[in-house]
Each structure stands twice: as structure tokens, then as C-alpha cells.
Structure 1
């Protein structure tokens, strides 16, 4: 596999990762609620680690090609985002509030893994983006190329979401009212994305 191919993948993938979505909303909300955004980012990356394992095993294509499985994943993911967004919307965070620090890192990680791992858009990214950069004549096994792209994607997600969460915390640290507004917006984004996924799948 050529360096040009890897760089091209990174550029395209970065454009997708820096596009705000459910992951961004969770990173922002976690940055406002917790002492550290790191557990949330670890959780988000863990969700994509699951997709990477499935992709290397060839199961991602099977799931994506099965209407029943994809519908089930979409409905589950949409319901999870609606539940998570409703919680954030009704309990908007302020930086360092005592009740917001109560969540254990383990619970924050699990929520993050659920946010990215139950998002069918993540599955479709692996199905639609990765094959465009896999070169069967490169001398690398397809599974190895898929694993490399998965690791690169997880690394980009980790860096971008960490920056997003930390910046949200730093910028809003002295502005509790603004922090509540941003927290509510994050919750509304989760609800909107979950609702869109649900309507899109059921309408299809």
C-alpha cells in the first residue's frame, strides 16, 4: 500500500470526523459534565474498535447487506441517542457541577461506546469509505489494509473528539449560562440525529 493512498484516506476521513454529529455532541456534553473528557473519548473510540474488528472479520458487509440487521441496528441506535439526548437536554450541565462529577469513568466509557457503536452511520462509513482505498494488488492482505484504516480512523476520532471536549470545557468554564445552552444544544443534536435515523429507516 502506498503512502499516497494512506494520506488520501486520512484527508477524506478527517473531513468526515470533523463534521459535527452525535459523537461531537457526546464529547461536548462529557467535557462539560466530567473532570476529564478522556473516558468519553475512550468510549467513542471503543465503539469504532468494535466496527474495526467486524470489518476485518468481513462481518460489516454482511450486516450492511442485511435489511433486517441494519434496520434493527438503526432503530436501537436511534432509540439510544434519543434516550441519551433527552437526559442531556433535561439535565443541562455546568462545568464541574457536583452532580455531574458523580458518573464513574466506566459508565462514561460505556455511554461513549454506545454512542458510536450503535450509530449505523459509523457502520456505513466502514462499508462505503474503506473499500475505496483498499488495493488488492498492493501486496497487503485485505484484512490487514482494513485493520490499518480502522486504526487510523480511531486515532483521528480520538484526537478530534479530545480537542472538542477539552475546548468546550475550557471555553465555557467561566460561563455557566453558556455551558448550559451548549449542553442543551448537544442534547438536542442527539435527539435530532436519533429522530432522523429512526424516520429515515422506518420510511425506507
Structure 2
């Protein structure tokens, strides 16, 4: 592979990862409400692992060229993102303004009781799967990478699938860094500011809800 093309892709993909979207909204929510940012961020990255793998083996092109399959994927993805946004907003309502205390997980005297190890594992798995769903079944991510990756392949070099996996791996490393930074920044800057924290969480929930609704209407309205 040509080094120049790899570096150009790294720069382009890095800029893409810095663009706020559904991934950012979920990363911010995870930073504010999850006990650990690791499961949700790994979930986001794993979703893109699936997307890159699908593109590398050629399935992505088949999906993109099949209107029925693409519409079905869009409906499923949009409904999931819409559901995640609505549940985020409903979860905020149940905190009754005590977002910081609930997210931190205090003892019975000051807030919710500490969860058992089984509860913690179940919550981590749930956060991981939520993150994987946000990125993995979002058709916009598939279409963007499907359009972006082939532009940086080296003709006459390694097999195209191998090159796509390598470039996709660079992108996934970049989003791990960026989304982890977003989650950590949200946690460190907003958790000590309950009102601002609530406002940002509401904005994230609204973004997911509106984005999911837009995707659904875009898929269903002819």
C-alpha cells in the first residue's frame, strides 16, 4: 500500500470521527451516566468492526445496491436509534434532577444502592450492545465508509479486502481515541455541574430521537 494514501485516509477518517453525530451523542451520554466508559466505547468500536468487515468481504456493496435490503436496514437502524433517544430522555425524567448522584452510584443513604457483581456485568453488557447498535446498524456509517474506503486503495497492491481491513483498523483506532476523549470530557467537565449536565443529556437524547426519526422518514417516504 502507498504510504501517502494511508496517511491521507488517516487524516480524512480522523476528521470524520471529529464530526458530532449519533456516536458523539451516545459517547456523551455514556460519559455522564455509565459507571465505566469502557463498555459503551468498545461497543461503538465493535459496531464499526462489523461494518468494515462487511465492506471488506464485499457484502456492503451488495447491500448498497439492493434498495429493499438498504431500506430494511435503515428502518431497523433508525428505530433503534429513536428508541435509544426516547429511553435516554425517559431515564433523565426518572432521575428527578439528581443525574450526578445516580450516575456515580452512591450507597443507600445518599442514593441508589451499589449493584451486585452480576448487575454490574449485565449493565456493562447492555451498554456494550447499545454502543454496538448505534454504530453497527446505522446505515449512514455503512454508506460513508463504503464510499470512502475504496478511494484510498492502492492498485496492484495487496488484495482489496486486506487493504480495507487495514484502513478500517486505522479508523477504528481513531474513533476509540476520539470517543473515549468525548466521554471522559463529558464526565470530568459536566458531572460536577448538575444543571449543565442535565441540559447536555437532554440535548443528546433529543439528538438521537430526532436523528432516528429523520432516518426513518427518509427510508419510508418515497
TM (norm. structure 2) is 0.87
Indicate the larger mover: 85-94 or 107-116.
85-94
In structure 2, relative to structure 1, the CA distance for the partners of 1:96 and 1:58 (3 Å cut) is farther
Offset at residue 95 of structure 1 (A) = 3.1
- Report if the CA contact (8 A) 1:46-1:113 is conserved: yes
Q: CA deviation at 1:87?
A: 0.8
After superposition, give the CA deviation of every residue in 1:23-50 in whole Å (9 maximum; x if it has no partner).
0000000110112211110000010111
- 2:126 aligned with 1:126: no
1:60–1:126 Cα contact (<8 Å) kept: no
Moved over 3 A (4+): 98-103
Larger Rg belongs to: 2
Question: In structure 2, what is the equivalent of residue 91 of structure 1?
Answer: 91
Q: Give the match's secondary structure for 2:154.
A: coil
Partner residue, 2:61: 61
Q: CA deviation at 1:126?
A: 2.0
Quote the RMSD (CA, aligned, Å). Answer: 1.6
Whether 2:194 is the aligned partner of 1:189: answer: no
Question: In the aligned structure 2, how far is the partner of 1:182 from the partner of 1:87?
Answer: 15
State the TM-score, normalized to the length of structure 1: 0.94
Identify if the C-alpha distance between structure 1 residues 96 and 24 changes in structure 2 by more than 3 Å, giving closer, same or farther.
farther
Correspondence for 1:149:
167
- What is the Cα deviation at residue 196 of structure 1? 1.2
Q: Secondary structure at the match of 1:129?
A: helix
Structure 1, unaligned runs of 5 or more: none
CA deviation digits over 1:118-175, x for unaligned, max 9? 10011102210001111222x2111110101111111111111000000000001211
Q: For residue 191 of structure 2, what is the aligned residue in structure 1?
A: 173
2:125 to 95, 103, 106: 106
Q: Secondary structure at the match of 1:60?
A: helix
Q: Residue 192 of structure 2 aligns to a residue in which SS?
A: coil
SS in 1 for 2:100: coil
The match for 1:31 is 31
State how many pairs are aligned.
203
- Output the CA distance in 2 between the equivalents of 1:35 and 1:96: 11
